[in-house]
Amino acid sequence: MCLLNGPDIAPHMNHDPTTIAVLRRALDEVLLDARFRRNRSASALEIAEHILAQAAAGERDLERLKSSAFSKLRGERVQNQAA
């Protein structure tokens, strides 16, 4: 059995502890929200990947990350919101 470390999974992503905490909170809050349970147009993995993509584009705001994830759940086309 081979376990992958963080650098093996995404060697080009390097986030500081504060950013990781924001990303984790955004994911947790989206997955616990009733809108996610009602509208399963995207899996938890897809939402996590979407949040990571937003972070890779520079987004760090918790509310904008969540808003973007909920837009994805609604099937809306999401653009990078990072300022």
DSSP string, 15-79: --HHHHHHHHHHHHHHHHSHHHHH--SS-HHHHHHHHHHHHHTT---HHHHHHHHHHHHTT----
82 in a structural domain: no
64 in a structural domain: yes
48 in a structural domain: yes
80 in a structural domain: no
- In this predicted structure, the answer to whether residue 5 has a pLDDT above a threshold of 70 is no
56 in a structural domain: yes
- In this predicted structure, the answer to whether residue 6 has a pLDDT above a threshold of 70 is no
21 in a structural domain: yes
Domain count, the chain: 1
67 in a structural domain: yes
Predicted structure pTM score: 0.77
* Average confidence (pLDDT) over 65-75: 93
- In this predicted structure, the answer to whether residue 80 has a pLDDT above a threshold of 90 is no
* Residue 42 lies in domain: 16-73
7 in a structural domain: no
